[in-house]
């Protein structure tokens, strides 16, 4: 008998089951990361169940009408190759079409990229996971508390993600007046540095020291757009190693206008693969 398959909204009660897939894929996302995506865009998060078992997920977060971000595309290894990720992607794209989104982006792994290419996504830029396995102890660096800078973030990222940033800032965030902001949070495998959006490498260095001085003895992860050569230079200087390369991809939505301007020179750390 073929399995009974259905796509349903992903809910917080599914998170313990999702975490099994998360672990099987070796992802750094935590239960909180999944809960955050669901709370920001409850109508855009989907799960595919096969015979009552959560087999596959995909999430889509909208930043206004300008830009949507697809993430958490994940299929249980036992259920791969059955077309589940494709069906969830098509479901998510339909949702974004109904919302009238102008542009859609995602950060593609090697495993996901062939599917996204078939669905009309095009490569925009590489994005890299850099890791420091054991953060050395260092004097604690304190910075002023986080103050949102929507204009800077819009210029850097290309769309307004104030709501997401507000939620992320609850886990740890700092600002340097006139320069920018940075955030940090625990991960399943490594403490995570990002987003870090600021106007100068000097500020980025202070933010990095702020982050590292709070994670002695822990592994640290940092996702970098290598177009920002100063971010790469800092990562090397502080002993980080490049471990994975993904590809940021873009696809026009139904209502695509002009391509979204963004400024990678201000993006010293992305926020997350699942929302850019
Ligand atoms: C990527 C992933 C989600 C695909 O899930 P899946 O449910 O097995 O994918 P599907 O069965 O829907 O396959 C989708 C399409 O991609 C193709 N495809 C899937 N994996 C592929 C691979 N490694 N190489 C080439 N093509 C591949 C399939 O042939 C299929 O094409 P078709 O629809 O034209 O027949 C799954 O491999 C996974 O969870 N990987 C680990 C996590 C990950 O990297 N996720 C992507 C994050 S961006």
Yes or no: say if 249 and 104 are a contact pair by the CB < 8 Å rule. no
Ligand 1, atom 5, lies closest to the CA of 85
Report d(CA 248, CA 4) in Å as an integer: 34
Strands (E), 199-240: 220-224
Ligand 1, atom 21, lies closest to the CA of 111
Burial of 140 by CB count in 10 Å (0-12 exposed, 13-18 middle, 19+ buried)? exposed
CA 85–ligand 1 middle distance (angstroms): 6
Chain-centroid distance of CA 91 in Å reads 20
Question: What is the predicted pLDDT for the residue at 259?
Answer: 87
CA 81–ligand 1 middle distance (angstroms): 6
Element (H, E) at 8: strand 5-9
Please count the other Cβ atoms lying within 10 Å of the Cβ belonging to residue 50.
18
Q: State if residue 83 touches ligand 1 by the CB under 6 angstroms criterion.
A: yes
CA 21–ligand 1 middle distance (angstroms): 14
User: Among 72, 104, 69, 99, which Cα is nearest to 88's?
Assistant: 72
Rg (C-alpha) for the chain, rounded Å, is: 18
pTM: 0.96
Q: State if residue 249 touches ligand 1 by the CB under 6 angstroms criterion.
A: no
Q: State if residue 244 touches ligand 1 by the CB under 6 angstroms criterion.
A: no
**DSSP labels, 147-208:** ---HHHHHHHHSS--HHHHHHHHTT-EEEETTTEEEEEE--SSSEEEEEEEES-HHHHHHHH
CA 274–ligand 1 middle distance (angstroms): 17
Question: What is the predicted pLDDT for the residue at 258?
Answer: 84
Element (H, E) at 90: helix 84-98
User: Among 240, 233, 226, 227, which Cα is nearest to 204's?
Assistant: 233
Domain 5-124 belongs to what topology? Answer: Aminopeptidase (3.40.630)
Pick among 1.10.230.10, 3.40.50.300, 3.30.70.1060, 3.40.630.90: CATH of 129-269: 3.40.630.90
Report d(CA 54, CA 8) in Å as an integer: 10
Domain with CATH 3.40.630.90 in the chain: 129-269
Residues of the chain with confidence (pLDDT) below 70: none
pLDDT digits (tens, 9 = 90+) for 160-198: 999 999 999 999 999 999 999 999 999 999 999 999 999
Report d(CA 14, CA 52) in Å as an integer: 12
User: Among 263, 250, 265, which Cα is nearest to 123's?
Assistant: 250
The helix/strand/coil state of 64 is coil
Domain with CATH 3.40.630.30 in the chain: 5-124
Ligand 1, atom 48, lies closest to the CA of 108
Ligand 1, atom 36, lies closest to the CA of 75
CA 154–ligand 1 middle distance (angstroms): 32
């Amino acid at each position: 008998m073929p399995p009974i398959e259905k796509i349903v909204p992903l809910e917080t009660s599914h998170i313990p089951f999702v975490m099994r897939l998360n672990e099987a894929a070796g992802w750094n996302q935590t239960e909180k990361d999944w809960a955050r995506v669901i709370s920001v865009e409850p109508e855009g998060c989907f799960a595919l169940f096969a015979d009552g078992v959560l087999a596959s997920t995909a999430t889509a977060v909208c930043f206004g009408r300008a830009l949507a971000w697809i993430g958490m595309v994940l299929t249980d290894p036992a259920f791969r190759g059955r077309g589940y990720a494709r069906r969830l992607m098509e479901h998510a794209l339909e949702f974004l079409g109904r919302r009238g989104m102008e542009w859609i982006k995602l950060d593609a792994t090697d495993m996901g990229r062939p599917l996204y290419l078939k669905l009309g996504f095009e490569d925009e830029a590489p994005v890299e996971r850099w890791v420091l396995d054991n953060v050395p102890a260092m004097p604690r660096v304190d910075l002023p508390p986080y103050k949102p800078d929507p204009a800077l973030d819009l210029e850097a990222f290309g769309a307004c993600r104030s709501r997401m940033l507000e939620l992320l800032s609850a886990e740890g965030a700092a600002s340097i007046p006139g320069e920018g902001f940075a955030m940090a949070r625990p991960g399943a495998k490594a403490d995570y540095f990002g987003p870090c959006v600021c106007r100068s490498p000097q500020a980025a260095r202070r933010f990095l020291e702020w982050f590292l001085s709070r994670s002695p003895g822990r592994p640290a992860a940092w996702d970098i757009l290598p177009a920002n050569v100063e971010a790469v230079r800092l990562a090397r200087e502080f002993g980080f190693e490049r471990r994975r390369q993904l590809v940021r991809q873009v696809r026009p939505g139904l209502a695509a206008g002009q391509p979204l301007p963004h400024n990678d020179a201000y993006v010293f750390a992305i926020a997350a693969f699942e929302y850019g």
